[in-house]
Structure 1
Amino acid sequence: MTGKAIDVVSAGRGSAVRGRGARRRAATLASIRVSSAAEAGYAAAGPVSRVIEALGNNVVADLLGVSRSQPSRWRSGQERLSPENRKRISDLDHVLDRLLLELYPDQAGLWLTGPNPHLGGARPIDVLQLRGAAAILPAIDALTVGAFA
């Protein structure tokens, strides 16, 4: 702490922090514009390729309930993902990214398919499919800090 006073003022949808330079930051943050080129940068090709590389076409297809040739078509750009499958690929990508920070790939596979006490004994991959990434992130956080249930 620098000893400078910082006021937090509730205003409508959020809080504003006031202090040295805060007005300039607040003005900048009040007018954020996302580049029209951003959509291409956030295209699903990156996550699709990473997830397929990590898990393989067949596993990805089985997890998403699509034909086994579908992931290849997504990866090559022949077809676009539906919004639902794009979200599910994004969830898988995020979970794999978090797991591979802590575990070797073979350990990550075992973690995903083994019963997890932080998930009431459920397998993380099943919870991910039913409830999304947010439901298993606390179990990954517990793994990160070395907690055992």
Structure 2
Amino acid sequence: MPVATARKVEALRHDFRSAARLADMLGVSRSQVTRWLQGAGIDPLNAEKVDLLELVWSSVLRLYERDAALEWLFGINPRLGDRRPIDLVRSGRAEELMRALRAERTDSFA
């Protein structure tokens, strides 16, 4: 059974230690995240961003410790054309992110 988006928002807020930081990562206002945490509905576009961030974050944490995972998420990535993974999360570029994660996984096991 899929996890409700509201539960993902709460888990991500906890992982990133603030609603403000999560809002910045998703490219939305802090008040928007607060409304989601209080039970307000989430529009489909932002729900997809939450889903993608949760997928990417959990995947990176399988490869790296938290601090290194944050560096990966916010760092310039040559596999992404020298873009930051978090910027691709904001723009919903799931396919590119998943390719980069697969390559990262391959390198970590080589």
Normalized against structure 1, the TM-score is what? Answer: 0.64
Query: How many angstroms apart in 2 are the aligned matches of 1:82 and 1:59?
Result: 20
Instruction: Report percent identity of matched pairs.
Output: 34
**In terms of Rg, which structure is larger?**
1
2:98 is equivalent to residue 98 of structure 1: no
Q: Answer 1 or 2: which has greater strand percent.
A: 1
How many aligned positions are there? 107
Bigger relative contact order (CA 8 A; separation at least 6): 2
2:7 is equivalent to residue 50 of structure 1: no
Task: Quote the RMSD (CA, aligned, Å).
Answer: 1.8
The C-alpha deviation readout for 1:48-87, integer Å capped at 9, x for no partner, is 112111222112212333321221221231x111111111
Structure 2, unpaired ranges of 5+: none
Could you tell me which of 69, 72, 78 is aligned with 1:108?
Answer: 69
**TM-aligned CA deviation for residue 42 of structure 1:** 4.0
Q: Against the structure 1 CA distance between its residues 131 and 120, is the aligned structure 2 distance closer, same or farther, given a 3 Å change threshold?
A: same
The amino acid that maps onto 1:122 is R
Q: 1:71 is matched with which residue? A: 33
Q: 1:122 is matched with which residue? A: 83
Q: Answer 1 or 2: which has greater helix percent.
A: 2
